[in-house]
Amino acid sequence: MAYQAPVNDILFALRSAGGLDQLIENGVYEGLDLDTVEAVLSEAGRFAGEVLEPLNRPGDRQGSKLVDGTVVTPDGWGEAYRQFTEAGWSALPCPEEFGGQGLPGIVSSAVCELWNASNLAFGLCPLLTQGAIDAIHIGGSEDLKARFLPKLVSGAWTGTMNLTEPQAGSDLALLKSRAVPQGDGTYRIFGTKIFITYGDHEMVENIVHLVLARLPDAPEGTRGISLFLVPKLMVNADGSLGSRNDVVCGGLEDKIGIHASPTCVMNFGEKDGAVGYLVGEENKGLATMFIMMNAARLAVGVQGVAIADRATQRAIAYANERRQGRSMGGGEGPVQIVEHADVRRMLVTMQAMTQAARAICLVTAREADLAQRASDAEARQQAQARAALLTPVAKAFSTDIGCEVASMGVQVHGGMGFVEETGAAQYYRDARILPIYEGTNGIQAIDLVARKLPLGDGKVLRCYLQDLGAIVKDVRESNRPEFGHMGERLGEALAALGEASMWIGEQLKKNPEAVLAGASPYLRLFGITAGGCYLAQGALLAARDGVETDAARYVGLARFFAENMAVAAPGLAQSVMGGADSLMSIPTSRLSI
Amino acid sequence: MAYQAPVNDILFALRSAGGLDQLIENGVYEGLDLDTVEAVLSEAGRFAGEVLEPLNRPGDRQGSKLVDGTVVTPDGWGEAYRQFTEAGWSALPCPEEFGGQGLPGIVSSAVCELWNASNLAFGLCPLLTQGAIDAIHIGGSEDLKARFLPKLVSGAWTGTMNLTEPQAGSDLALLKSRAVPQGDGTYRIFGTKIFITYGDHEMVENIVHLVLARLPDAPEGTRGISLFLVPKLMVNADGSLGSRNDVVCGGLEDKIGIHASPTCVMNFGEKDGAVGYLVGEENKGLATMFIMMNAARLAVGVQGVAIADRATQRAIAYANERRQGRSMGGGEGPVQIVEHADVRRMLVTMQAMTQAARAICLVTAREADLAQRASDAEARQQAQARAALLTPVAKAFSTDIGCEVASMGVQVHGGMGFVEETGAAQYYRDARILPIYEGTNGIQAIDLVARKLPLGDGKVLRCYLQDLGAIVKDVRESNRPEFGHMGERLGEALAALGEASMWIGEQLKKNPEAVLAGASPYLRLFGITAGGCYLAQGALLAARDGVETDAARYVGLARFFAENMAVAAPGLAQSVMGGADSLMSIPTSRLSI
């Protein structure tokens, strides 16, 4: 079935949870208006549906292949990429001084969803390039920026992020790749990197690798890691391409999904070393990397939303087509399975979870925007802190939702979901990478409890919970019968989140292991509470001010989420606060085979 | 890593939740003793580890292929099957009068887990054959039994179940396959069946298809369906094989997983009709089918346990091998990731969920045994009803657990989980069929609330809840500090299950759609409450009487489950009782694209 960009749902999330109207009114997004946002989304949606979606399944079936040392992407991939860049999509969120369009992050995040919904394996290529652009923009010298950014922004070249090594995944302190200074300002890089997305391919003439490596005299651990720019082909001072650099793709991984996206083993310096340029300061590569990684983590969260939305669309289409069983009210012949209450529960759950995760991602993008654009320094700082708080939730909650919704999508299809023919299967397979890459969801949960909750001595979190509390208060005071128990359930969820947060605050120093044992259920608790509140904010907007379309649906989704998803909150809080004791009562020796 | 049959965990579940010691003492299982059970499990585990496990990954990579109209299984498959039958494993649970060993269902269920853990795609072949044996044994004439059962029991031939047609999946009323009586007691079958597991293959010389079809004058709907036995090769009166019957495999499905298990399109009667023999009475095929399907549904539940156990083993092995990050206590160098609290939470969750699902399946198998073996008629009837109550829970809860645990197994592996190399990926892919086939989990949930809860006017359920209540009471009264909040949490879960059950009892007639809307969360609520109680029963046994090994672990798992999984119960009850209103507030028109 054709891909329909969820323009209405995205706009609604931008306006309700994202507060876009007010931000435009306040002049935060200079030159932007709602009509422009809608036009960009519609146009991107058209491109996604007409160009990217038709390649999704054939690309999965064919996969990228390593042929004579070069990665060959599936048929049509290169042409689609050419159209993508010619239409200017790669430049959308990029700095204007390097040829970008400087669209705010909240809008480019929304657009990013469309690429990844229609074709996740394709969407990864600009996503990673964006990461490289960010890293160079943050840490690169003027010369590096001038030489590399215009081509990356235009999409003439693509970029990669090279962090992982066989022995160093979540733990970057263990990385071994070496960088040897040449005395002329350049370095030679030696080492093997794995899991490098689009590490090589034939769609563009050059690829710009951002690579973490150690200098000879670097301290051990994470304080001795530097970041280097290593082009596939050397770039002369005049911008022309020179000789091949000493970096090659040594192999491709055979994966559960995203078959069209080449996951490369990259070998640097098999001959005399790959020429690299330092980005940022020596031994401070991780700092640059982490700034860039926050954006990438949010983008991966958006991928979770994307795959969830696409899986939901396909499941709804199938449920409206497939006829089995009788309706409860009797009637002639078999009914569309969307009529069955259990199928409806799945479809509504899928929609509600998707919209909740979408709201969390867009709010995170807004805060990242405000960290740059807010008029006074304090507001910028507050927004920066809130973006930091929400980023692990946006990444982990949304990608868990992506997997869960994709799995429900298979289930709605029944036996047809398990066969590859319908496409539901591919979403299930593709989605599974999302909780893993760009920092596993466990790492995100640990980041949330151990680094983000203590921000500003807990004040960042407290202010956030107060804001959620204001939404719950509005819902309760609205006294609308169509809201059902929405206010009550969200109030209970927020209380549970508050209690669990307090407990973490008390235990973090005393008993850090207990806190870490509860990190994952805490992140889930955070996600369903925040997501429920954002949907409720939408319900308030829809019910009070009315919206053009779908007001009843947005109220229904918010109520359903509160009464069916958010009700898990008290149990999750118990798991956060009480889980560690029993966990630790099982001797580690019993966790070995 | 090598497969280790979880003999201790199975024996412990058999003795605690299953109550095997007492059943043996009471003479229910004549001739059986614990040493024999352990010996059978150990020997089966050895076979599974040495013969089936090594074929699992190569079989997945190679897959079954359709070559010149015949299915060719992967290399080594036929030889493994030959060894399997020669060792007598296929005959284990079969009636002794046809050459079987007559082992009780509770033991053969336990053994079934081992085949499916080591090789799910292989395990399906005997599983389906067992279904065919059951159907013929229940409904077949003396002649059919004599002619077909000995070869099926010995494994010389295999069997299939042919229910689904393109337009008739969950809704068998829609099936169209035709059976034309020939006046000589035989029928000719015409029609296309899909999703037929091991519908064709070259491992044995004959295949016995059990096929649902309609007689010419049959009533519409499910009351007009008859069951037929259709051999691949005709079988002469003397047992020798005759000519090829008019049934062929028309194609294989391309699936997410279980690649080695051929999922066939079967075409019956493309020429002059496939010769078939009536099994049971005309138009009453579903009755026979449903008796058989209860056993098959339990077996699929066991497959869920199996894949969960295997995924857990592999994740534990990886977590003990992979080194990343520092331990909280400091110390030199990177630690095994099993030391990290978040990884431990995943591993312990996987173990606890697996053992809970295992207990539910084995209790269901015991009740099915007692329905045959109990000394008085009332006890047999009660056991029959309880088996009926528990079967949908055993199927759906265990297979959901199978998928969830397999997904956690991928997560424990990080990036290595998404690549096929480690094997974790295959469990994730293979497991996904389990919530779908043999009646989707949604169908199981509907069966539970609409057919099983009303059994005996609700008395069957009430007695069951009382039995669970007795366990909770014992836990509470034991006052053991190592039990933590186990009794309290299980008490809350049981209260939630009781309340939701009462609500269903009240609403089922008045507002059936609301009940169906809550069916799936109700089944989950049932599963975690029952599973938590069975683990607690194990903890009581381990703490009171002591067990040879692992007493602290069994207590720890029970406590962890109660304090981390069972705490979801009150939220699920809210979802059951309050979910329908908001679900139905969203107009169906908004569930179409």
DSSP H/E element including A208: strand A206-213
Region B212-236: mean pLDDT is: 96
User: A301-329+358-584 domain in CATH 1.20.140.10?
Assistant: yes
Percent of chain B with pLDDT strictly greater than 90: 91
User: What share of chain A has pLDDT > 70, as a percent?
Assistant: 98
Q: How far is B258 from chain A (nearest CA, A)?
A: 10
The pair of structure tokens assigned to A296 is 């990438």
Cα torsion through B158, B119, B365, B493, rounded to 10: -150
Residue given tokens 């509907």 in the structure block: B446
Mean pLDDT of B22-26: 94
Whole-number Cα distances in Å, B494 to A77, B260, B266, B564? 55, 42, 46, 15
The verdict on a CB contact (< 8 Å) between B342 and A516 is yes
The CA distance from A541 to the nearest CA of chain B, in Å, is: 17
Query: What is the model's pLDDT at position B592?
Result: 66
Catalytic residues of B: 438
A159 contacts A296 by C-beta, under 8 angstroms: no
pLDDT of residue B327: 78
CA B160 to chain centre: 16
Q: In angstroms, what separates the C-alpha of A194 from chain B's closest C-alpha? A: 10
Which pair of structure tokens corresponds to residue A320?
């409206």
Closest partner residue to A338 (CB to CB) among B324, B420, B588 is B588
pLDDT, tens digit (0-9, with 9 covering 90-100), for A427-463: 999 999 999 999 999 999 999 999 999 999 999 999 9
> Are the C-beta atoms of B490 and B529 separated by less than 8 Å?
yes
pLDDT computed for residue B109 by the predictor = 97
| A226, HSE (Cβ side, Cα atoms, 13 Å) | 25
Nearest to B565 by CA among B533, B537, B592: B533
> For residues A327 and B140, what is the distance between their CA atoms, to the nearest angstrom?
35
Domain boundaries, chain B: 288-583
Q: How many CB atoms lie within 10 A of CB A4?
A: 17
CA dihedral of B469, B9, B297, A418, whole degrees rounded to 10: 120
**Mean local confidence (pLDDT), B89-110:** 94
Return d(Cα A156, Cα A85) in angstroms, integer.
7
Residues A139-164 as b or e (16 or more Cβ within 10 Å = b): bbeeebbebbbbbbbbbebbbbbbbb
Does residue A121 contact residue A115 with C-beta atoms inside 8 Å? no
| CA atoms of B11 and A253, how far apart (whole Å) | 40
User: Is the minimum CB–CB distance between B222 and chain A shorter than 8 Å?
Assistant: no
Note the pLDDT of residue A30.
Answer: 86
Average pLDDT on B536-557 reads 86
Name the token pair of A119: 């074709």
Unique residue bearing structure tokens 């939220």? B571
CA distance A386 to chain B (A): 24
From chain A, pick out residues whose CB is under 8 angstroms from the CB of B491. none
Do B578 and A512 count as a contact with CB atoms less than 8 A apart?
A: no
Residue B590 pLDDT more than 80? no
- Both structure tokens of B355: 């053992």
The owner of tokens 């042409």 is A79
From B117, B119, B115, select the one nearest B130 (Cα to Cα).
B115
CA distance B167 to A540: 43
Which of the pair, B571 or A2, is modelled with greater confidence? B571
Name, in order, each residue with C-beta under 8 angstroms of A524's C-beta and a sequence gap of 6 or more.
Answer: A397, A400, A568, A572
Q: Which residues contact A54 (CB under 8 A, 6 or more apart)?
A: A76
The residue with tokens 């919704």 is A405
Residue A511 neighbours by CB distance under 10 Å: 13
Provide the 10 A C-beta neighbour count for residue A133.
29
Residue of B nearest to A339 (CA): B588
Q: What is the pTM of this model?
A: 0.97
Give the pLDDT mean for B3-9. Answer: 96
Element (H, E) at A377: helix A377-412
Q: How far apart are the first and last CA of chain B?
A: 47
- pLDDT above 90: residue A338: yes
Q: How many whole angstroms separate alpha carbon B452 and alpha carbon B446? A: 9
Q: What is the DSSP letter of A440?
A: -
Among B339, B553, B591, the residue with its CB nearest the CB of A344 is B591
> Using CA atoms, how far apart are residues A207 and A243, in angstroms rounded to an integer?
13
pLDDT digits (tens, 9 = 90+) for B326-343: 877 667 789 999 999 999
Q: Counting beta carbons within 10 angstroms of the beta carbon of residue B128, is it exposed (0 to 12), middle (13 to 18) or buried (19 or more)?
A: buried
A484-523 residues touching B, CB cutoff 8 A: 484-485, 489, 512-514, 516-517, 519-521
Cα–Cα distances (Å) from B208 to B122, B198, B213, B376, in that order, read 18, 11, 16, 36
- Look at residues B87, B91, B119 and name the one whose alpha carbon lies nearest to residue B103: B91
User: DSSP state, B74?
Assistant: P
The pLDDT mean for chain B works out to 95
Please check the confidence at residue B593 and state whether its pLDDT lies above 70: no
Q: Flag whether residue A563 sits within 8 Å of chain B, measured between CB atoms.
A: yes
Q: Which residue has the higher pLDDT, B546 or A124?
A: A124
A586 → closest Cβ in B442, B557, B588: B557
Tens-digit pLDDT profile for residues A186-231: 999 999 999 999 999 999 999 999 999 999 999 999 999 999 999 9
pLDDT at position A583: 86
The answer to whether the Cβ–Cβ distance between A420 and B254 falls below 8 Å is yes
Rounded Cα gap, residues A576 and A516, in angstroms: 9
Position A133, amino acid: I
Model confidence pLDDT, tens digit, residues B104-140: 999 999 999 999 999 999 999 999 999 999 999 999 9
Answer yes or no: do A563 and B586 touch at CB < 8 A.
Answer: no
Amino acid in position B20: L
Closest Cβ–Cβ partner in A342, A436, A580 for B417: A436
Suggest the residue from B418, B438, B488 to mutate for an interface test with chain A (most A CBs closer than 10 A).
B418
How many CB pairs (< 8 A) connect A and B?
Answer: 311
Average pLDDT over residues B15-43: 95
Candidates A584, A265, A10, A480; CA nearest to B552 is A584
Q: Do A170 and B581 touch (CB under 8 A)?
A: no
Instruction: Report the CATH fold assignment for B288-583.
Output: Butyryl-CoA Dehydrogenase, subunit A; domain 3 (1.20.140)
Instruction: From chain A, pick out residues whose CB is under 8 angstroms from the CB of B167.
Output: 323
User: Is B319–A591 a contact, with Cβ atoms under 8 angstroms apart?
Assistant: yes
Residue A52 has pLDDT above 70, yes or no: yes
Token output for B455 = 């059994």
Q: Mark yes or no for CB contact B591/A513 under 8 Å.
A: no
Task: Tell me the residue length of chain A.
Answer: 593
> Cβ of B194 and A592 within 8 Å?
no
Nearest CA in chain A to B404: A404
Q: Is 70 exceeded by the pLDDT of residue A95?
A: yes
**3-state SS, residue A342:** helix
Residue A592 CA to residue B344 CA, distance in Å, equals 11
ipTM: 0.97
Distance from CA of B89 to the nearest CA of A (A): 26
Share of chain A above pLDDT 90, in %: 91
Q: Which of B256, B519, B569 is closest, CB to CB, to A342? A: B519
pLDDT per residue as tens digits for the range A310-331: 999 999 999 999 999 987 766 7
Q: Is A256 within 8 Å of B425 when comparing Cβ atoms?
A: yes
The per-residue pLDDT for range B487-502, each reduced to its tens digit, is: 999 999 999 999 999 9
- In the block, tokens 């066969």 appear at A419
pLDDT tier for residue B589 given thresholds of 50, 70 and 90: low
Q: Do A495 and A468 contact (CB within 8 A), yes or no?
A: no
Q: Is A271 exposed, middle or buried (0-12, 13-18, 19+ CB in 10 A)?
A: exposed
SS3 call for A389: helix
* Residue in this structure with the two tokens 């089918």, named with its chain if needed: B289
Q: Are strands B178-181 and B241-244 parallel, antiparallel or unpaired?
A: unpaired
Q: Give the mean model confidence (pLDDT) for residues B464-484.
A: 96
Question: Do A352 and A535 form a contact (C-beta atoms < 8 A)?
Answer: yes
Q: Does the pLDDT at position A31 exceed 90?
A: no
Residues A592 and B358: beta-carbon distance below 8 Å: no
Chain A residues inside the 8 Å CB shell of B341: 513-514, 516-517, 519, 580, 583
Which one from A79, A438, A499, A563 is the annotated catalytic residue?
A438
Report the pLDDT value the prediction gives residue A237, as an integer from 0 to 100.
87
Q: Both tokens of residue B186?
A: 């035989």
Tens of pLDDT, residue by residue over A500-559, are 999 999 999 999 999 999 999 999 999 999 999 999 999 999 988 766 668 889 999 999
Phi, psi values for residue B284, rounded to 5°: -120, 30
Instruction: List all residues 6 or more positions away from B272 whose beta carbon is below 8 Å from its beta carbon.
Output: B188, B246
Contact A130, A298 (CB under 8 A): no
Please give the residue that has the higher pLDDT: either A291 or A468: A468
Report residue A333's pLDDT band, with 50, 70 and 90 as the boundaries: confident
DSSP notation for B157-186: EEEEEE--BTTBSS-GGG---EEEE-SSSE
Nearest to B116 by CA among B253, B297, B302: B302
First to last CA, chain A: 47
How much is the mean pLDDT over chain A?
Answer: 95
Any A CB within 8 A of B320 CB: yes
Alpha carbon B336 to its chain's center: 34
Beta strands in B29-145 (DSSP E): 65-67, 70-72
Q: In this structure, are residues B361 and B301 in contact, taking their beta carbons and an 8 Å threshold?
A: yes
Do residue A1 and residue B516 have CB atoms under 8 angstroms apart?
no
A414, closest residue in chain B (CA to CA): B436
- Whether residue B170 and residue A513 make contact (CB cut-off 8 A), yes or no, is no
Question: Beta strands A263-268 and A186-197: pairing type?
Answer: antiparallel
What's the token pair of residue A44?
């991107």
The β-bridge partners of B336 are B323
